[in-house]
Amino acid sequence: MALTNCPECEKEVSENAMACPHCGYPLQEEVGPQTAQPTISGMAIASLVCSIAGCFFNSLAGLILGIVFGDTAKRKIRESQMKIGGNGIATAGMIIGWIGITIYILIMALLSQNW
C-alpha cells in the first residue's frame, strides 16, 4: 500500500483512500453506477400543460391539444424503444384531456337545456 501526501493538510494518506482521514479532504471522485436518465419528451410535457390549462381556463382547444400532444408523445416514445422518457406524463395529459372534454360536453348539454 503506497502512501501519498494530502494536498490540504500535507499528512500521509493511502493512495486508495477516498478522503483524507485527518482533514476530510476528498482525494478521489466518488464513482458510482452511472445510469443515464432518459430525456423527457417535450410533447409529453406539452400534453400535460395543455390539458391542465384547458381545464383551468375551460378551453376546449387546450383539452384537444393535450390529447393530440399526448398521443404524439406516446407514439414517439414507443418508436424510440423507451429511450425517451415521459410515457406516464403523456398518459396523464391524455386522461385529463378526455375527462375535461367529457365535463365540458356535460356542462354544455346542461346549459343548453335551460335556454
pLDDT tens digits along 42-64: 999 999 999 999 999 989 999 99
User: Same domain, yes or no, for 14 and 57?
Assistant: no
Residue 36 covered by a domain: no
Residues 46 and 20 in one domain: no
Do 69 and 101 have their domain in common?
yes
* pTM to 2 decimal places: 0.66
Q: Are residues 76 and 25 in the same domain?
A: no
The answer to whether residue 5 is domain-embedded is yes
Q: How many domains does the chain divide into?
A: 2
Domain that holds residue 15: 1-29
DSSP H/E element including 10: none
pLDDT tens sequence across 2-38 = 888 888 888 888 888 888 888 888 887 765 566 667 7
